[in-house]
Amino acid sequence: MGTRRKIVEAIRALAQTKAPEELTFADVARLAGVHWTTVRRHVGSREALRKLASESQPPRGTEHLDTRARLLLAAARLTEKKGFQTTSLDEVAAEAGLTKGAIYWHFASKHDLLLELMHQTIRQEMQGRPSEVSAIMAADDPVQALAAWLEKELPDQDSPAAIAALFVECSVHPDSQVREKLREIVREVIQQTTELVQALQARGDITGLDPRVVSVYLQAVLNGLMLNWLIDPERIRPALWSRQLAELILYGLQPGGRK
């Protein structure tokens, strides 16, 4: 799990027990294990921090959400340190300061827990996608703006492999419920990306190809980079190739790009 994801998970966990206006960069930094200036760099202003916290607060009457958030944060910490294959539910419970029974109250299995961790991380990231894409397209140099975004989001040699490995294992897992949960996550991402592509097409920013095809293409590029990096992280360095990847993506989607 990268730095931004750790920060987002920390905000989500703290939002279960603190009001948004009470949350500080220092609170998030302590829980995420980073310096407070790192939190500010990734989140932005205090207002942006409070907005993220507000979006993460549980609805009233859901008394188990605090325990659930603690379990997810504990799982995130452990999978970052040692990978999900060697992380046991006993370790997750101990890291969260809870019993193993608390895990089964909320999750059917270890894969159920880890898929939920991945799902929540992706949902949080997708909430910010429209504003990120708008900023990229409005930049004086959209290619450089996209390259900077890719450099932050794509894995490099020092990135943990937990999320990528979880994606691969769950796609071929013998339990059909695990595979179905993964399908739900992928479908949700494709749908939200399709809606974003439609908005860009309506503004004339990108080509008028079938928005669902464009969405699947973009996800395939990002997922393919992740998988290739997972197989050979020493030679495949997507984050270092961000400028060239940005050119390939943007030039391929420019209106009138087809001859």
pLDDT in tens, 133-187: 999 999 999 999 999 999 888 876 555 555 667 778 888 888 888 889 899 999 9
The span from the CA of 68 to the CA of 65, in Å, is 5
CA 128 to CA 10: how far, in whole Å?
17
Claim to verify: residue 77 and residue 13 sit in the same structural domain: yes
Residue ending a domain, choose from 59, 76, 108: 108
Q: How far apart are CA 56 and CA 124, in angstroms?
A: 9
Q: Among all chains, which residue has been given the structure tokens 């659930």?
A: 68
Residue 45, pLDDT above cutoff 90? no
143 & 203 share domain: yes
- One domain, residues 222 and 140: yes
**pLDDT band at 245; cut points 50, 70, 90:** very high
**Within 10 A of 70 (CB to CB), how many other CB atoms are there?**
20
Q: Is residue 116 part of a domain?
A: no
Of the pLDDT bands very low, low, confident and very high (cuts 50, 70, 90), residue 109 is confident
pLDDT digits (tens, 9 = 90+) for 87-100: 888 999 888 888 88
How many domains would you assign to the chain? Answer: 2
- What is the predicted pLDDT for the residue at 162? 58
Reading phi first (left if > 0) and then psi (alpha if -120 to 50, else beta), residue 216 is in alpha
Let me know if residue 165 belongs to a domain.
yes
Q: Do 234 and 137 lie in a common domain?
A: yes
User: Is the same domain home to 101 and 129?
Assistant: no
pLDDT of residue 217: 95
* Co-location of 145 and 241 in the same domain: yes
Q: Are residues 103 and 222 in the same domain?
A: no
pLDDT confidence band for 60 (50 / 70 / 90): very low
Distance CA 149, CA 145 (A): 6
Among candidate residues 46, 77, 108, the one where a domain is terminated: 108
| Six token digits for residue 182 | 């993964």
146 and 75 share a domain? no
Q: What is the pLDDT of residue 61?
A: 39
Q: Same domain, yes or no, for 102 and 137?
A: no
Give residue 150's domain range: 124-253
The whole-number pLDDT of residue 142 equals: 93
How many Cα atoms within 13 Å fall on the side-chain side of residue 203? 11
138 and 52: one domain? Answer: no
Where is mean pLDDT largest: 26-35, 58-67, 220-229? Answer: 220-229
pLDDT at 3: 79
- Within a domain: residue 117? no
Asked, for residue 157, whether it belongs to a domain, the answer is yes
Report the mean per-residue pLDDT for the chain: 82
Same domain, residue pair 102 and 180? no
Domain finish residue from 79, 108, 137: 108
